[in-house]
Structure 1
Amino acid sequence: MLNQFLIKQRISEFLKEDLEFGDLSTAPWIDQPVSGYFIAKQAGIICGQQIPQIAYDQLGKADYLPLVKDGQQVTKGMQLGKVTGTAATVFAGERVILNLLQHLSGIAGKTAGMVKRLADDSIKLVDTRKTTPGLRLFEKYAVTVGGGYNHRFGLTGGIMLKDNHLALAGGPTAAIAAAKRWAGPLTPIEVEVENRQQLLAAINQKPDVIMFDNQTPAMIAEWQKLVPAGILTEASGGITDENIAQYHGCGVDFISSGSLTNDVKPLDISFLLDGAIKNS
Protein backbone atom coordinates (compact mmCIF):
# COMPACT_ATOMS: atom_id res chain seq x y z
CA MET A 1 0.00 0.00 0.00
CA LEU A 2 1.28 3.43 -0.92
CA ASN A 3 2.32 5.84 1.84
CA GLN A 4 -0.06 8.75 1.21
CA PHE A 5 2.16 11.39 2.79
CA LEU A 6 5.21 10.44 0.75
CA ILE A 7 3.45 10.05 -2.58
CA LYS A 8 1.78 13.45 -2.20
CA GLN A 9 5.22 14.94 -1.59
CA ARG A 10 6.75 13.18 -4.59
CA ILE A 11 3.89 14.06 -6.94
CA SER A 12 4.14 17.69 -5.84
CA GLU A 13 7.81 17.64 -6.88
CA PHE A 14 6.98 16.11 -10.25
CA LEU A 15 4.27 18.69 -10.92
CA LYS A 16 6.60 21.57 -10.04
CA GLU A 17 9.18 20.23 -12.48
CA ASP A 18 6.64 20.18 -15.31
CA LEU A 19 4.74 23.39 -14.56
CA GLU A 20 7.49 25.89 -13.68
CA PHE A 21 5.59 29.16 -14.23
CA GLY A 22 2.35 27.67 -15.56
CA ASP A 23 0.79 25.95 -18.56
CA LEU A 24 1.13 28.43 -21.44
CA SER A 25 -0.77 26.19 -23.86
CA THR A 26 -3.97 26.21 -21.78
CA ALA A 27 -3.83 29.81 -20.53
CA PRO A 28 -6.75 31.10 -22.68
CA TRP A 29 -9.16 28.50 -21.27
CA ILE A 30 -8.05 27.99 -17.67
CA ASP A 31 -11.55 28.15 -16.12
CA GLN A 32 -13.42 26.30 -18.85
CA PRO A 33 -15.05 23.07 -17.61
CA VAL A 34 -13.87 19.92 -19.39
CA SER A 35 -14.10 16.15 -19.08
CA GLY A 36 -12.21 13.27 -20.58
CA TYR A 37 -10.96 9.72 -20.21
CA PHE A 38 -7.69 7.90 -19.64
CA ILE A 39 -7.65 5.06 -22.16
CA ALA A 40 -5.51 1.93 -22.51
CA LYS A 41 -3.94 1.76 -25.96
CA GLN A 42 -2.78 -1.82 -25.41
CA ALA A 43 -3.61 -4.78 -23.20
CA GLY A 44 -1.95 -4.94 -19.79
CA ILE A 45 -2.32 -4.59 -16.04
CA ILE A 46 -3.21 -1.23 -14.52
CA CYS A 47 -1.37 0.30 -11.57
CA GLY A 48 -1.52 3.76 -10.01
CA GLN A 49 -5.20 4.60 -9.87
CA GLN A 50 -4.68 6.68 -6.70
CA ILE A 51 -2.32 9.02 -8.51
CA PRO A 52 -4.68 11.15 -10.66
CA GLN A 53 -6.78 12.48 -7.78
CA ILE A 54 -3.69 13.18 -5.64
CA ALA A 55 -2.25 15.22 -8.52
CA TYR A 56 -5.48 17.09 -9.23
CA ASP A 57 -5.98 17.97 -5.56
CA GLN A 58 -2.67 19.83 -5.65
CA LEU A 59 -3.51 21.69 -8.85
CA GLY A 60 -7.08 22.92 -8.46
CA LYS A 61 -10.55 21.66 -9.29
CA ALA A 62 -10.96 18.22 -10.83
CA ASP A 63 -12.46 14.87 -9.86
CA TYR A 64 -11.16 11.51 -11.01
CA LEU A 65 -13.40 8.45 -11.17
CA PRO A 66 -11.44 5.18 -11.55
CA LEU A 67 -13.23 2.75 -13.85
CA VAL A 68 -10.86 -0.17 -13.17
CA LYS A 69 -8.90 -1.22 -10.09
CA ASP A 70 -5.15 -1.58 -9.61
CA GLY A 71 -4.12 -5.06 -10.67
CA GLN A 72 -6.95 -5.45 -13.16
CA GLN A 73 -6.22 -6.82 -16.61
CA VAL A 74 -7.39 -4.42 -19.34
CA THR A 75 -7.71 -4.60 -23.09
CA LYS A 76 -6.88 -2.11 -25.83
CA GLY A 77 -9.40 0.72 -25.94
CA MET A 78 -10.72 0.23 -22.40
CA GLN A 79 -11.50 3.37 -20.41
CA LEU A 80 -9.44 3.41 -17.21
CA GLY A 81 -10.88 6.49 -15.54
CA LYS A 82 -12.87 9.67 -16.14
CA VAL A 83 -11.88 13.17 -15.05
CA THR A 84 -14.06 16.28 -14.86
CA GLY A 85 -12.80 19.71 -13.87
CA THR A 86 -11.34 22.96 -15.13
CA ALA A 87 -9.10 22.91 -18.17
CA ALA A 88 -6.22 24.38 -16.16
CA THR A 89 -6.26 21.56 -13.62
CA VAL A 90 -6.91 18.69 -16.03
CA PHE A 91 -4.26 19.72 -18.54
CA ALA A 92 -1.64 20.66 -15.95
CA GLY A 93 -1.75 17.17 -14.43
CA GLU A 94 -2.06 15.17 -17.64
CA ARG A 95 1.60 14.46 -18.42
CA VAL A 96 2.78 13.65 -14.91
CA ILE A 97 -0.22 11.36 -14.36
CA LEU A 98 0.31 9.57 -17.67
CA ASN A 99 4.04 9.14 -17.05
CA LEU A 100 3.40 7.49 -13.69
CA LEU A 101 0.43 5.37 -14.79
CA GLN A 102 2.30 4.07 -17.83
CA HIS A 103 5.50 3.29 -15.94
CA LEU A 104 3.84 1.61 -12.95
CA SER A 105 1.47 -0.38 -15.14
CA GLY A 106 4.47 -1.58 -17.12
CA ILE A 107 6.14 -2.80 -13.93
CA ALA A 108 2.96 -4.51 -12.70
CA GLY A 109 2.52 -6.24 -16.05
CA LYS A 110 6.13 -7.39 -16.23
CA THR A 111 5.98 -8.74 -12.67
CA ALA A 112 2.79 -10.65 -13.39
CA GLY A 113 4.37 -12.13 -16.50
CA MET A 114 7.44 -13.32 -14.62
CA VAL A 115 5.36 -14.83 -11.82
CA LYS A 116 3.37 -16.71 -14.46
CA ARG A 117 6.49 -17.96 -16.24
CA LEU A 118 8.08 -19.12 -12.98
CA ALA A 119 4.90 -21.07 -12.17
CA ASP A 120 6.14 -22.05 -8.70
CA ASP A 121 4.02 -21.01 -5.72
CA SER A 122 6.76 -22.11 -3.30
CA ILE A 123 9.05 -19.30 -4.52
CA LYS A 124 8.37 -15.58 -3.96
CA LEU A 125 9.54 -13.24 -6.70
CA VAL A 126 11.03 -10.11 -5.10
CA ASP A 127 12.36 -6.79 -6.34
CA THR A 128 15.69 -5.09 -5.59
CA ARG A 129 17.06 -1.59 -4.92
CA LYS A 130 17.62 -1.15 -8.68
CA THR A 131 14.92 1.48 -8.90
CA THR A 132 14.59 4.91 -10.52
CA PRO A 133 15.78 7.63 -8.08
CA GLY A 134 12.71 9.27 -6.57
CA LEU A 135 10.36 6.52 -7.72
CA ARG A 136 11.25 3.62 -5.43
CA LEU A 137 8.05 3.86 -3.37
CA PHE A 138 5.93 3.83 -6.53
CA GLU A 139 7.89 1.11 -8.30
CA LYS A 140 7.92 -1.27 -5.36
CA TYR A 141 4.17 -0.80 -4.98
CA ALA A 142 3.75 -1.71 -8.66
CA VAL A 143 5.70 -4.94 -8.07
CA THR A 144 3.20 -5.99 -5.39
CA VAL A 145 0.27 -5.11 -7.68
CA GLY A 146 1.77 -7.51 -10.23
CA GLY A 147 1.96 -10.34 -7.69
CA GLY A 148 5.56 -9.91 -6.55
CA TYR A 149 7.02 -9.00 -3.17
CA ASN A 150 9.32 -6.28 -1.86
CA HIS A 151 12.90 -6.88 -0.75
CA ARG A 152 14.64 -4.09 1.19
CA PHE A 153 13.28 -0.57 0.71
CA GLY A 154 16.70 0.84 1.53
CA LEU A 155 19.99 0.19 3.28
CA THR A 156 18.30 0.27 6.69
CA GLY A 157 15.86 -2.51 5.72
CA GLY A 158 18.25 -5.26 6.73
CA ILE A 159 21.90 -6.31 6.54
CA MET A 160 23.00 -7.71 3.18
CA LEU A 161 26.63 -8.80 2.99
CA LYS A 162 27.70 -8.83 -0.66
CA ASP A 163 31.00 -9.49 -2.42
CA ASN A 164 32.54 -6.15 -1.42
CA HIS A 165 31.55 -6.59 2.23
CA LEU A 166 33.08 -10.08 2.24
CA ALA A 167 36.28 -8.70 0.74
CA LEU A 168 36.35 -5.92 3.32
CA ALA A 169 35.86 -8.33 6.22
CA GLY A 170 38.06 -11.14 4.92
CA GLY A 171 35.36 -13.65 4.06
CA PRO A 172 31.85 -14.70 5.07
CA THR A 173 32.81 -16.02 8.52
CA ALA A 174 34.25 -12.72 9.71
CA ALA A 175 31.60 -10.67 7.88
CA ILE A 176 28.66 -12.47 9.45
CA ALA A 177 30.26 -12.43 12.90
CA ALA A 178 30.77 -8.66 12.64
CA ALA A 179 27.22 -8.14 11.41
CA LYS A 180 25.81 -10.10 14.33
CA ARG A 181 27.67 -7.87 16.76
CA TRP A 182 26.10 -4.77 15.18
CA ALA A 183 22.63 -6.06 14.32
CA GLY A 184 19.59 -5.34 16.42
CA PRO A 185 17.51 -8.27 17.65
CA LEU A 186 14.99 -7.88 14.80
CA THR A 187 17.44 -7.03 12.00
CA PRO A 188 17.79 -9.85 9.43
CA ILE A 189 21.23 -10.76 8.10
CA GLU A 190 21.65 -11.99 4.53
CA VAL A 191 24.92 -13.07 2.93
CA GLU A 192 25.75 -13.54 -0.74
CA VAL A 193 27.80 -16.58 -1.76
CA GLU A 194 29.42 -17.37 -5.10
CA ASN A 195 31.14 -20.70 -4.48
CA ARG A 196 30.82 -23.81 -2.34
CA GLN A 197 33.52 -22.71 0.11
CA GLN A 198 31.67 -19.48 0.85
CA LEU A 199 28.40 -21.38 1.14
CA LEU A 200 29.74 -23.79 3.77
CA ALA A 201 31.31 -20.95 5.74
CA ALA A 202 28.03 -19.03 5.67
CA ILE A 203 26.01 -22.05 6.77
CA ASN A 204 28.34 -22.48 9.74
CA GLN A 205 27.60 -18.90 10.87
CA LYS A 206 23.80 -19.32 10.59
CA PRO A 207 22.65 -16.09 8.91
CA ASP A 208 18.94 -15.54 8.32
CA VAL A 209 19.23 -15.75 4.53
CA ILE A 210 21.83 -17.06 2.08
CA MET A 211 21.78 -15.68 -1.44
CA PHE A 212 23.03 -17.86 -4.29
CA ASP A 213 24.51 -15.27 -6.64
CA ASN A 214 24.83 -15.86 -10.39
CA GLN A 215 24.37 -19.63 -10.20
CA THR A 216 22.64 -21.96 -12.63
CA PRO A 217 19.32 -23.52 -11.61
CA ALA A 218 21.05 -26.91 -11.41
CA MET A 219 23.77 -25.61 -9.09
CA ILE A 220 21.18 -23.84 -6.94
CA ALA A 221 19.26 -27.09 -6.53
CA GLU A 222 22.47 -28.85 -5.40
CA TRP A 223 23.46 -26.11 -2.96
CA GLN A 224 19.93 -25.95 -1.60
CA LYS A 225 20.34 -29.52 -0.29
CA LEU A 226 23.22 -28.36 1.94
CA VAL A 227 21.30 -25.56 3.65
CA PRO A 228 19.67 -26.64 6.93
CA ALA A 229 16.14 -25.75 7.95
CA GLY A 230 15.94 -22.36 9.57
CA ILE A 231 18.05 -20.57 6.96
CA LEU A 232 16.12 -19.07 4.04
CA THR A 233 17.61 -18.99 0.55
CA GLU A 234 17.47 -16.59 -2.37
CA ALA A 235 18.54 -16.86 -6.00
CA SER A 236 19.77 -13.71 -7.72
CA GLY A 237 21.80 -12.48 -10.63
CA GLY A 238 20.79 -12.26 -14.28
CA ILE A 239 17.28 -13.62 -13.76
CA THR A 240 14.88 -12.13 -16.29
CA ASP A 241 11.55 -12.87 -17.93
CA GLU A 242 13.46 -14.79 -20.63
CA ASN A 243 15.01 -17.36 -18.28
CA ILE A 244 12.96 -17.36 -15.08
CA ALA A 245 11.03 -20.49 -16.08
CA GLN A 246 14.30 -22.45 -15.73
CA TYR A 247 14.26 -21.77 -11.96
CA HIS A 248 10.97 -23.60 -11.42
CA GLY A 249 11.46 -26.18 -8.68
CA CYS A 250 15.02 -25.09 -7.77
CA GLY A 251 14.05 -25.02 -4.09
CA VAL A 252 14.85 -21.47 -2.98
CA ASP A 253 12.46 -19.35 -0.94
CA PHE A 254 12.98 -16.18 -3.01
CA ILE A 255 14.09 -15.11 -6.45
CA SER A 256 15.17 -11.47 -6.79
CA SER A 257 15.32 -9.69 -10.11
CA GLY A 258 16.40 -6.12 -10.82
CA SER A 259 14.74 -6.34 -14.22
CA LEU A 260 11.33 -5.96 -12.53
CA THR A 261 12.02 -2.24 -12.15
CA ASN A 262 15.00 -1.35 -14.35
CA ASP A 263 14.11 -3.08 -17.62
CA VAL A 264 10.49 -2.15 -18.16
CA LYS A 265 8.43 -1.04 -21.14
CA PRO A 266 5.65 1.37 -20.11
CA LEU A 267 2.07 0.43 -20.85
CA ASP A 268 0.70 2.70 -23.58
CA ILE A 269 -2.04 4.91 -22.08
CA SER A 270 -3.50 8.13 -23.45
CA PHE A 271 -5.80 10.90 -22.25
CA LEU A 272 -8.55 12.14 -24.54
CA LEU A 273 -10.84 15.08 -23.91
CA ASP A 274 -14.51 14.61 -24.71
CA GLY A 275 -15.01 15.84 -28.26
CA ALA A 276 -11.37 15.43 -29.26
CA ILE A 277 -10.53 13.38 -32.32
CA LYS A 278 -7.39 11.27 -32.40
CA ASN A 279 -6.29 8.58 -34.82
CA SER A 280 -5.84 5.24 -33.07
Structure 2
Amino acid sequence: MKMVEIISTELIMTNLLINKALQESIADYFKEDDLSRNLNYIQSLPSDEVQCRLKIKDDMILCGLPYFVESFNYLGANLKYEDFKKYEGRQYQKDEMAEIHFTLPFSIALTGERIALNLIQRASSIATYTNKFAVMAKGSGVKILDTRKTLPGYRALEKYAVVTGGGNNHRFGQSDMWMVKDNHKSFFGGVKEAIDFFKSKNSFYTPIEVEIHDLSELKLALNEGVKHIMLDNFSPDEIREAVKEKPSDVTFEVSGGVRLNTLENYLIEGVDAISIGALTYDAPAVDLSLKYSRG
Protein backbone atom coordinates (compact mmCIF):
# COMPACT_ATOMS: atom_id res chain seq x y z
CA MET A 1 0.00 0.00 0.00
CA LYS A 2 1.33 3.44 -0.89
CA MET A 3 2.18 5.86 1.94
CA VAL A 4 -0.55 8.30 0.86
CA GLU A 5 -3.11 5.48 1.07
CA ILE A 6 -1.92 4.50 4.57
CA ILE A 7 -2.20 8.11 5.78
CA SER A 8 -5.66 8.44 4.22
CA THR A 9 -6.82 5.27 5.98
CA GLU A 10 -5.47 6.54 9.32
CA LEU A 11 -7.34 9.82 8.90
CA ILE A 12 -10.57 8.01 8.13
CA MET A 13 -10.15 5.76 11.18
CA THR A 14 -9.35 8.71 13.46
CA ASN A 15 -12.48 10.56 12.37
CA LEU A 16 -14.58 7.42 12.68
CA LEU A 17 -13.33 6.63 16.19
CA ILE A 18 -13.94 10.19 17.39
CA ASN A 19 -17.41 10.08 15.88
CA LYS A 20 -18.27 6.79 17.58
CA ALA A 21 -16.81 7.88 20.93
CA LEU A 22 -18.81 11.11 21.03
CA GLN A 23 -21.98 10.09 19.17
CA GLU A 24 -24.08 9.24 22.23
CA SER A 25 -23.09 12.36 24.16
CA ILE A 26 -23.68 14.68 21.20
CA ALA A 27 -27.11 13.11 20.66
CA ASP A 28 -28.01 13.82 24.29
CA TYR A 29 -26.90 17.44 23.98
CA PHE A 30 -29.12 18.00 20.93
CA LYS A 31 -32.14 16.50 22.67
CA GLU A 32 -32.29 19.67 24.77
CA ASP A 33 -32.85 21.71 21.59
CA ASP A 34 -35.66 19.34 20.59
CA LEU A 35 -35.40 19.86 16.84
CA SER A 36 -38.44 17.67 16.16
CA ARG A 37 -40.82 20.22 17.71
CA ASN A 38 -40.75 22.51 14.68
CA LEU A 39 -40.16 20.59 11.47
CA ASN A 40 -41.36 23.52 9.37
CA TYR A 41 -38.58 25.69 10.76
CA ILE A 42 -35.93 23.06 10.09
CA GLN A 43 -37.15 22.57 6.52
CA SER A 44 -37.11 26.31 5.84
CA LEU A 45 -33.44 26.90 6.69
CA PRO A 46 -31.36 27.55 3.54
CA SER A 47 -28.51 25.12 2.92
CA ASP A 48 -26.26 27.62 1.11
CA GLU A 49 -22.63 27.31 2.16
CA VAL A 50 -21.25 29.94 4.51
CA GLN A 51 -17.70 30.81 5.50
CA CYS A 52 -17.35 30.21 9.25
CA ARG A 53 -14.86 31.87 11.60
CA LEU A 54 -14.27 30.56 15.11
CA LYS A 55 -12.92 33.65 16.87
CA ILE A 56 -10.59 33.26 19.87
CA LYS A 57 -11.17 36.35 21.99
CA ASP A 58 -9.28 35.64 25.24
CA ASP A 59 -5.97 34.36 26.53
CA MET A 60 -6.62 30.61 26.57
CA ILE A 61 -5.67 27.04 25.88
CA LEU A 62 -8.03 26.05 23.08
CA CYS A 63 -9.67 22.72 23.89
CA GLY A 64 -12.71 20.72 22.82
CA LEU A 65 -12.37 20.75 19.04
CA PRO A 66 -13.33 17.04 18.74
CA TYR A 67 -16.66 17.95 20.39
CA PHE A 68 -16.97 21.12 18.32
CA VAL A 69 -16.47 19.27 15.03
CA GLU A 70 -18.77 16.37 15.91
CA SER A 71 -21.57 18.74 16.94
CA PHE A 72 -21.83 19.84 13.30
CA ASN A 73 -21.19 16.37 11.88
CA TYR A 74 -24.11 15.05 13.96
CA LEU A 75 -26.32 17.34 11.86
CA GLY A 76 -24.89 16.05 8.58
CA ALA A 77 -21.73 18.10 8.02
CA ASN A 78 -18.56 16.41 6.82
CA LEU A 79 -15.89 18.23 8.79
CA LYS A 80 -12.64 16.34 9.35
CA TYR A 81 -11.08 16.57 12.79
CA GLU A 82 -7.64 16.23 11.21
CA ASP A 83 -8.17 19.69 9.68
CA PHE A 84 -8.62 21.12 13.21
CA LYS A 85 -6.22 18.94 15.19
CA LYS A 86 -3.27 21.35 14.94
CA TYR A 87 -5.24 23.96 16.90
CA GLU A 88 -6.22 21.65 19.78
CA GLY A 89 -4.32 22.31 23.01
CA ARG A 90 -2.59 25.37 21.59
CA GLN A 91 -2.11 28.45 23.77
CA TYR A 92 -3.52 31.67 22.33
CA GLN A 93 -3.24 35.30 23.40
CA LYS A 94 -6.16 37.68 23.11
CA ASP A 95 -4.21 40.21 21.05
CA GLU A 96 -3.51 37.59 18.37
CA MET A 97 -7.17 37.91 17.30
CA ALA A 98 -6.82 34.35 16.02
CA GLU A 99 -9.53 32.70 13.91
CA ILE A 100 -10.14 29.19 12.59
CA HIS A 101 -11.86 29.12 9.20
CA PHE A 102 -14.07 26.39 7.73
CA THR A 103 -17.16 25.99 5.58
CA LEU A 104 -20.63 24.69 6.46
CA PRO A 105 -24.16 24.78 5.07
CA PHE A 106 -25.99 27.71 6.70
CA SER A 107 -28.68 25.39 8.14
CA ILE A 108 -26.09 23.27 9.95
CA ALA A 109 -24.00 26.21 11.12
CA LEU A 110 -27.02 27.94 12.63
CA THR A 111 -28.52 24.83 14.21
CA GLY A 112 -25.30 23.48 15.72
CA GLU A 113 -23.66 26.75 16.72
CA ARG A 114 -24.84 27.05 20.31
CA ILE A 115 -24.07 23.49 21.37
CA ALA A 116 -20.71 23.47 19.60
CA LEU A 117 -19.71 26.77 21.21
CA ASN A 118 -20.94 25.75 24.67
CA LEU A 119 -18.82 22.61 24.56
CA ILE A 120 -15.62 24.21 23.30
CA GLN A 121 -15.98 27.14 25.69
CA ARG A 122 -16.45 24.83 28.68
CA ALA A 123 -13.50 22.67 27.70
CA SER A 124 -11.24 25.64 26.94
CA SER A 125 -12.11 27.29 30.26
CA ILE A 126 -11.12 24.17 32.22
CA ALA A 127 -7.98 23.53 30.18
CA THR A 128 -6.88 27.15 30.62
CA TYR A 129 -7.48 27.12 34.37
CA THR A 130 -5.84 23.73 34.86
CA ASN A 131 -2.77 24.91 33.00
CA LYS A 132 -2.21 27.67 35.55
CA PHE A 133 -1.96 25.02 38.29
CA ALA A 134 0.17 22.69 36.16
CA VAL A 135 2.65 25.43 35.31
CA MET A 136 3.00 26.40 38.98
CA ALA A 137 3.56 22.75 39.99
CA LYS A 138 6.07 22.03 37.21
CA GLY A 139 9.37 20.75 38.54
CA SER A 140 7.99 20.00 42.00
CA GLY A 141 7.25 16.34 41.31
CA VAL A 142 3.62 16.92 42.35
CA LYS A 143 0.86 15.99 39.89
CA ILE A 144 -2.31 18.09 39.62
CA LEU A 145 -5.44 15.89 39.67
CA ASP A 146 -9.07 16.56 38.99
CA THR A 147 -11.94 15.01 41.01
CA ARG A 148 -15.44 13.66 40.37
CA LYS A 149 -16.84 17.15 41.03
CA THR A 150 -17.92 17.46 37.42
CA LEU A 151 -21.19 18.59 35.87
CA PRO A 152 -23.44 15.54 35.34
CA GLY A 153 -23.37 14.57 31.68
CA TYR A 154 -20.10 16.40 31.02
CA ARG A 155 -17.54 14.36 32.97
CA ALA A 156 -15.79 13.03 29.87
CA LEU A 157 -15.51 16.51 28.36
CA GLU A 158 -14.28 18.09 31.58
CA LYS A 159 -11.72 15.40 32.35
CA TYR A 160 -10.48 15.54 28.75
CA ALA A 161 -9.99 19.29 29.23
CA VAL A 162 -8.00 18.76 32.44
CA VAL A 163 -5.51 16.53 30.61
CA THR A 164 -5.29 18.96 27.68
CA GLY A 165 -4.41 21.69 30.18
CA GLY A 166 -1.56 19.66 31.65
CA GLY A 167 -3.38 18.07 34.58
CA ASN A 168 -4.09 14.42 35.40
CA ASN A 169 -7.30 12.47 35.86
CA HIS A 170 -8.38 10.97 39.17
CA ARG A 171 -11.27 8.50 39.14
CA PHE A 172 -13.79 8.57 36.28
CA GLY A 173 -16.24 6.53 38.36
CA GLN A 174 -16.60 5.20 41.90
CA SER A 175 -15.39 1.70 41.06
CA ASP A 176 -12.16 2.80 39.34
CA MET A 177 -10.69 2.91 42.84
CA TRP A 178 -12.31 2.19 46.19
CA MET A 179 -12.06 5.38 48.19
CA VAL A 180 -12.69 5.16 51.93
CA LYS A 181 -14.33 8.45 52.90
CA ASP A 182 -15.68 9.91 56.14
CA ASN A 183 -19.15 8.50 55.63
CA HIS A 184 -17.74 4.99 55.13
CA LYS A 185 -15.73 5.25 58.35
CA SER A 186 -18.72 6.59 60.25
CA PHE A 187 -21.12 3.93 58.96
CA PHE A 188 -18.84 0.90 59.27
CA GLY A 189 -17.31 1.95 62.57
CA GLY A 190 -13.79 3.10 61.77
CA VAL A 191 -10.88 3.06 59.34
CA LYS A 192 -10.16 -0.69 59.57
CA GLU A 193 -13.81 -1.67 59.30
CA ALA A 194 -14.33 0.50 56.22
CA ILE A 195 -11.19 -0.91 54.59
CA ASP A 196 -12.38 -4.44 55.38
CA PHE A 197 -15.67 -3.72 53.60
CA PHE A 198 -13.90 -2.78 50.38
CA LYS A 199 -11.45 -5.68 50.68
CA SER A 200 -14.50 -7.97 50.84
CA LYS A 201 -15.45 -6.89 47.29
CA ASN A 202 -12.65 -9.17 46.02
CA SER A 203 -11.82 -6.71 43.24
CA PHE A 204 -8.34 -8.05 42.64
CA TYR A 205 -7.08 -5.14 40.50
CA THR A 206 -9.06 -2.32 42.14
CA PRO A 207 -6.86 -0.32 44.54
CA ILE A 208 -8.05 1.24 47.79
CA GLU A 209 -7.40 4.83 48.83
CA VAL A 210 -8.17 6.08 52.34
CA GLU A 211 -9.13 9.65 53.14
CA ILE A 212 -7.53 10.48 56.47
CA HIS A 213 -7.75 13.47 58.78
CA ASP A 214 -5.02 12.97 61.38
CA LEU A 215 -1.83 11.03 62.01
CA SER A 216 -3.57 8.34 64.03
CA GLU A 217 -5.78 7.48 61.04
CA LEU A 218 -2.68 7.50 58.84
CA LYS A 219 -1.04 4.84 61.01
CA LEU A 220 -4.20 2.71 60.96
CA ALA A 221 -4.40 2.87 57.16
CA LEU A 222 -0.71 2.04 56.70
CA ASN A 223 -1.02 -0.91 59.12
CA GLU A 224 -3.77 -2.28 56.86
CA GLY A 225 -1.43 -2.22 53.88
CA VAL A 226 -3.15 0.66 52.07
CA LYS A 227 -0.96 1.99 49.24
CA HIS A 228 -2.80 5.24 48.49
CA ILE A 229 -3.42 7.87 51.15
CA MET A 230 -5.40 11.10 50.83
CA LEU A 231 -4.41 13.78 53.34
CA ASP A 232 -7.71 15.62 53.52
CA ASN A 233 -7.74 19.23 54.70
CA PHE A 234 -4.25 18.95 56.19
CA SER A 235 -2.35 22.19 56.74
CA PRO A 236 1.10 22.45 55.13
CA ASP A 237 2.72 21.88 58.53
CA GLU A 238 0.56 18.79 59.11
CA ILE A 239 1.52 17.47 55.67
CA ARG A 240 5.22 17.82 56.52
CA GLU A 241 4.65 15.75 59.64
CA ALA A 242 2.70 13.12 57.70
CA VAL A 243 5.32 12.61 54.98
CA LYS A 244 7.82 11.66 57.69
CA GLU A 245 5.74 8.47 58.09
CA LYS A 246 5.48 7.78 54.36
CA PRO A 247 6.73 4.37 53.15
CA SER A 248 8.55 4.36 49.83
CA ASP A 249 5.86 2.30 48.10
CA VAL A 250 2.89 4.46 49.16
CA THR A 251 1.46 7.50 47.38
CA PHE A 252 0.30 10.60 49.24
CA GLU A 253 -2.42 12.76 47.74
CA VAL A 254 -3.34 16.13 49.24
CA SER A 255 -6.89 17.41 48.92
CA GLY A 256 -9.22 19.98 50.39
CA GLY A 257 -9.55 23.66 49.59
CA VAL A 258 -6.35 24.12 47.60
CA ARG A 259 -6.61 27.14 45.30
CA LEU A 260 -4.29 28.80 42.83
CA ASN A 261 -3.23 31.43 45.35
CA THR A 262 -2.35 28.78 47.97
CA LEU A 263 -1.02 25.99 45.74
CA GLU A 264 2.64 26.87 46.27
CA ASN A 265 2.28 26.18 50.01
CA TYR A 266 1.30 22.55 49.29
CA LEU A 267 4.08 21.68 46.82
CA ILE A 268 5.88 19.76 49.54
CA GLU A 269 8.49 17.06 49.02
CA GLY A 270 6.87 13.69 49.61
CA VAL A 271 3.50 14.72 48.20
CA ASP A 272 2.75 12.85 44.97
CA ALA A 273 -0.42 14.61 43.87
CA ILE A 274 -2.92 17.33 44.77
CA SER A 275 -6.56 16.83 43.79
CA ILE A 276 -8.46 20.04 43.12
CA GLY A 277 -12.22 20.04 42.52
CA ALA A 278 -12.09 23.70 41.50
CA LEU A 279 -10.39 22.73 38.21
CA THR A 280 -13.79 21.70 36.88
CA TYR A 281 -16.37 23.49 39.02
CA ASP A 282 -14.73 26.91 39.33
CA ALA A 283 -12.88 27.53 36.06
CA PRO A 284 -13.36 31.14 34.84
CA ALA A 285 -15.08 31.28 31.46
CA VAL A 286 -13.10 32.18 28.35
CA ASP A 287 -14.60 33.96 25.36
CA LEU A 288 -15.08 32.46 21.88
CA SER A 289 -17.59 33.24 19.16
CA LEU A 290 -18.64 31.81 15.80
CA LYS A 291 -19.33 34.17 12.92
CA TYR A 292 -20.23 33.29 9.35
CA SER A 293 -20.93 35.01 6.07
CA ARG A 294 -22.03 34.04 2.60
CA GLY A 295 -19.18 33.12 0.31
After superposition, the Cα gap between the structure-2 partners of 1:98 and 1:24, relative to the gap in structure 1 and judged at 3 Å, is: farther
Q: Distance in 1 between matches of 2:97 and 2:152?
A: 31
TM-score (norm: length of structure 1): 0.91
What is the alpha-carbon distance in structure 2 between the residues aligned to residue 80 and residue 257 of structure 1? Answer: 32
Q: Note if 1:12 corresponds to 2:31.
A: no
> Do the aligned residues in 2 keep the contact of 1:38 with 1:81 (CA within 8 Å)?
yes
Name 1:216's counterpart in structure 2.
235
Equivalent residue runs for 1:184-263 within 5 Å: 184-263=203-282
Equivalent residue, structure 2, for 1:133: 152
Q: Is the Cα–Cα contact under 8 Å of residues 69 and 116 in structure 2 kept in the other structure?
A: no
Does residue 72 (structure 1) correspond to residue 87 (structure 2)? The answer is no
8 Å CA contact 2:125–2:284 kept in 1: the answer is yes
Work out whether residues 66 and 82 of structure 1, in 8 Å CA contact, stay in contact via their aligned partners in 2.
no
Q: Among the aligned pairs, what percent are the same residue? A: 34
- Please say if residues 118 and 245 of structure 1, whose CA atoms lie closer than 8 Å, have aligned partners that are also in contact: yes
Report the Cα offset of residue 146 of structure 1: 0.5
Mapped to 1, the partners of 2:38 and 2:30 lie a distance apart of 10
Give the secondary structure class of the aligned counterpart of 2:33. helix
Secondary structure at the aligned position of 1:15 is classed as helix
Aligned residue runs from structure 1 range 265-276, under 5 A: 265-274=284-293
The one of 70, 84, 104 equivalent to 1:54 is 70
Residue 123 of structure 1, aligned match among 127, 134, 142: 142
Shift of 1:181: 2.6
* Equivalent residue, structure 2, for 1:63: 79
Contact 2:72 2:116 (8 Å CA) reproduced: no
Q: Which amino acid aligns with 2:76?
A: G
The code of the aligned residue for 1:235 comes to V
Q: Which residue of 1 aligns with 2:119?
A: 100
| CA distances 1:214-248 after superposition (whole Å, capped 9, x unpaired) | 01112112101102121111000001112111112
* Matched AA of 1:149: N
Which of 51, 54, 71 matches 1:38?
A: 54
Residue 192 of structure 2: aligned partner: 173
Instruction: Tell me by how many angstroms 1:78 deviates.
Output: 3.7
* Higher mean displacement: 147-156 or 26-35: 26-35
Which sections of structure 2, spanning at least 5 residues, go unmatched? Answer: 1-13
* In structure 2, C-alpha distance between the alignment counterparts of 1:68 and 1:37, rounded to whole Å: 16
Q: Aligned partner of 1:194: which letter?
A: H
Code of the aligned partner of 1:47: C
Match of 2:6 in 1: none
Shift of 1:120: 4.0
Q: Partner of 1:50: helix, strand, or coil?
A: helix
Aligned-residue RMSD, C-alpha: 2.3
The offset of 1:3, in angstroms, is: 6.6
Q: How many residues align?
A: 276
Q: What per-residue deviation string (whole Å, max 9, x for no partner) do you get for residues 60-79 of structure 1?
A: 23536427422110122543
TM-score by length of 2: 0.86
Amino acid at match of 2:153: G
Q: Counterparts of 2:202 and 2:248 in 1: how far apart (Å)?
A: 22
**Structure with more of its chain in helix, by fraction:** 2
Alignment gaps of 5+ in structure 1: none
The more displaced of 5-14 and 186-195 is 5-14
| DSSP-derived class of the 1:52 partner | helix
- Structure 1 segments (4+ residues) deviating >4 Å: 1-4, 22-29
